[in-house]
Chains A and B, each alone.
Chain A
Amino acid sequence: MRATPGGAGPKRFPGPASLRRGSRGQLLDNLGHRLRHGGRVARALLSSQYALMLEYRAETALWALSGILPFIMLGIWDQLAVAPAASGAGGPDAAGIGLDRVQLSRYFLCAFVARQFSVAWVVYAFEEDALQGRLSPYLLQPLQPLWRYVAAHLAEQLTRLPFVVIIAAVFFLLQPQAFWIPTPARFLAGVLAIWLAFTINFLLQSCIAILCFWSERASALERLLFIPYLFLSGLVAPLEVFPPAWRAAAHWTPFPLMVAFPAQLLAGGPVAISASFTAMAGWIALLLPITVLLWRAGVRRYSAMGA
């Protein structure tokens, strides 16, 4: 019990009072010190979590494989795209669903990739830690415990990378006509979008995870949240095939930003880039304070398991 909050607190955190007293130089010094310290903590966390995740490579491979839903749905939509028009229904997309097959393949592959690198499981990890009492020591450490989960997720994404590359390679072997290389601009924007999608997903799940402080069944809530995510994010159908009214309704939720937007960016499809990035920033700006406030309220209520 090295870091009892009362004893070590003032020494460890200089706090606003000392900042006010210090001159400008001291303030910069202080900032530099904090940044260096933060960098060291981040490096230590990431490397230890990566080492831990490497131990669970087989599990990670299976998690990667369990995200095959977009490929199943590609099968369905591909068949619909080649299906002949229904009894001369006419209209602009009488030939099918209005997306060509190559574009469809690329979209679902990118949806798979976007899902792989934006998936969050913090609610399950947090629930287990809370139920097994591991959370209490984490709370005593001078580090917001959620950062630990962020590091775990990032490390897991790194271990996932080779498996995703393998799955994508197999996909291109089976569908060589769908092979393409995104333009560098689209690729960078896509990577950024996937990370922002991960941030939104992580914050959303963290809010639910923090509810563990009040209820032991927070993961059930996550199960319910997954349902609109599944149908509105673009995992089971490209949003382009939705009727306009549905699409408009879906865009009021964060879900299309989490899969469909990064996927279309990477696949080179039509996409409202600046509007979507703005919306993502908006969701993060909304969710971040909620997470922080919920966390503070939750910790105040926390009395360890079994109390």
Chain B
Amino acid sequence: MAGPLRYWRTLKRFWGSALASQMEYQINLLIEVLAMVGNLGGSLLLLWLIYGRGQSLGGWSLEAALVVLGIYTLLDGVSSTLLRPNLGAIVTHVQQGTLDFVLLKPIDSQFWLSSRTISPWGLPEIATGLVLAIGAALHAGARPGVATILGGALMLASSVVILYSLWFVLATTSIWFVKTWNVTEVLRAALSAGRYPISAFPAGLRTLFTVVLPVAFLTTVPAEAILGRSSGSWLLLSLAVATGSLLFSCWFWRLALRDYTSASS
């Protein structure tokens, strides 16, 4: 069983070298932290605006809505740490023909493309999101039992997997349509709905954000789990969606590679 170990060692090399080169750009830390503070501050003001009038987002208390916002912040941090630096580079590989070199390497190409680099400047955002989510959940009266912690962690993991799969599938389409590289911008715009609990939307959008684009599984379902009020069926459904979308992304990548003819051919 040298397989998983080899991938683990490769990952350590990848991230070690990426960190070493990123340390050259420490001003990015300041920019990322400022952007996070600004975004979080704006979202908090908006929540305060709504709850200050005695209204609520889909029946969620302010503390519960803050859990959702915390998870959104965490996912945003994951995006800027891992997803954007790696998956954003796929189209460049396709455009410049360097994808050929990746495919020739004796390692799974999806693994290489998804984990080649890491940008540490999103880590403060991950930490802030986690602290916000947990702190708000404790305020909302969640009791940290083993089941809650386990369920919350599991739901967070599956929401990260879903987000990754969505992003990777969209990035994969650049193999066919190089010009639509900015399709992930549409995804990002649509995912900003995840700042709010899903029940804050009208019925039509709620269905859209659960069935078509699984925004609900990204933030609302994990928030319910952390608050200790989610049902077993939602947990199972979320796990199924995560597994399904991950498998789909692998299959889709193979499918795309079958049509890949390298640059300028």
Q: Chain A: residues with CB nearer than 8 A to chain B?
A: 56, 58-59, 62-63, 65-69, 72, 75-76, 78-80, 83, 85-87, 89, 96-97, 174, 217, 220, 223-224, 227-228, 230-231, 236-237, 241-243
A79 to B189: give the CA distance in the assembly, Å: 20
Measured CA separation A223–B34 after assembly (Å): 10
Q: Is the CB of B28 within 8 A of A59?
A: no
Q: Cα distance A68–B190 when bound, in Å?
A: 7
Give min CB distance, A131 to chain B, whole Å: 14
- CB-CB < 8 A to B27: which residues of A? 217
Q: Which residue of B lies closest to A68 (CB)?
A: B189
Interfacial residues of chain B within 116-132, with CB under 8 A of chain A in the complex: none
Which residues of B approach A to under 8 Å, CB–CB?
27-28, 31, 34-35, 38-39, 42, 45-46, 49-50, 53-58, 177, 179-183, 185-186, 188-190, 192-193, 196, 200-202, 204-205
Residue of B nearest to A215 (CB): B27
**Does B200 lie within 8 Å of A76, measured CB to CB?**
yes
CB <8 Å contact, A58 and B177 = yes
CB-based closest 4 A-B pairs? A86-B54, A227-B38, A231-B42, A66-B185
Query: In the complex the two chains form, is B186's CB within 8 Å of A66's CB?
Result: yes
CB neighbours of B50 from chain A (8 A): 80
Main secondary structure of the interface of A (DSSP, over half): helix
Determine how close the nearest CB of chain B comes to the CB of A206; give it in whole angstroms: 20
Knowing A78-B202, A79-B58, A236-B46 touch, does A69 contact B189 (C-beta < 8 A)? yes
A108 to B: closest C-beta gap in Å: 13
Q: How far does the alpha carbon of A65 sit from the alpha carbon of B31 in the complex, in Å? A: 27
Contact across chains for A66 and B54 when beta carbons are under 8 A apart: no
- Min CB gap A168→B, angstroms: 17
CA distance A59 to B180 in the complex (A): 5
Which of B34, B50, B55 has the largest number of chain A CB atoms within 10 A? B55
> Given A59-B181, A66-B186 in contact, is the A87-B54 Cβ separation under 8 Å?
yes
Q: How many A-B residue pairs have CB under 8 A?
A: 92
- Contact A63-B201, Cβ < 8 Å, known A56-B179, A86-B54, A227-B35: no
- 7 inter-chain pairs at a CB distance below 8 angstroms, sorted by A residue, are A65-B186, A66-B182, A66-B188, A76-B201, A97-B53, A220-B31, A243-B49
A220 touching B53 by the CB < 8 A rule? no
Contact among B49, B179, B196 for A237, CB-based, below 8 A? B49
A79 adjacent to B200 (CB under 8 Å): yes
**What is the CA–CA distance of A150 and B54 in the complex, to the nearest angstrom?**
46
**B189→A59 contact, CB < 8 A:** no
Cβ contact within 8 Å between B28 and A220: yes
User: How far is B185's CA from A226's CA once the two chains are assembled, in angstroms?
Assistant: 15
Q: Is the CB of B54 within 8 A of A89?
A: yes
In the bound complex, residues from chain B placing their C-beta under 8 Å from that of A96 are 55
- Residue among B27, B28, B177, B189 with the most chain A CB within 10 A? B189
Min CB distance A280 to B, Å, is 24
Query: Which residues on the A side are within 8 Å of B35 (C-beta)?
Result: 223-224, 227
Q: Is the CB of B49 within 8 A of A241?
A: yes
Asked if B46 contacts A231 (CB within 8 A), the reply is: yes
CB distance from B96 to the nearest CB of A (A): 13
Add 15 more A-B contacts to A80-B50, A86-B54 (CB < 8 A). Answer: A62-B180, A62-B182, A66-B182, A72-B190, A72-B205, A75-B202, A76-B196, A83-B55, A83-B56, A86-B53, A89-B54, A220-B28, A223-B35, A227-B35, A237-B49
* Contact assessment for A59 and B53 in the assembled complex, using a CB-CB cutoff below 8 Å: no
Which residue of chain A is the closest to B42 with respect to CB atoms? A231
Residues in A neighbouring B46, C-beta threshold 8 A: 231, 236-237
With a cutoff of 8 Å between Cβ atoms, the chain B residues found around residue A63 in the complex are 182, 185
- Bound Cα distance A276, B148 (Å): 53
Chain A min CB distance to B134 (Å)? 25
Tell me the bound Cα distance from A89 to B34 in angstroms. 37
Known: A62-B182, A75-B202, A80-B50. A227 touches B190 (CB 8 A): no
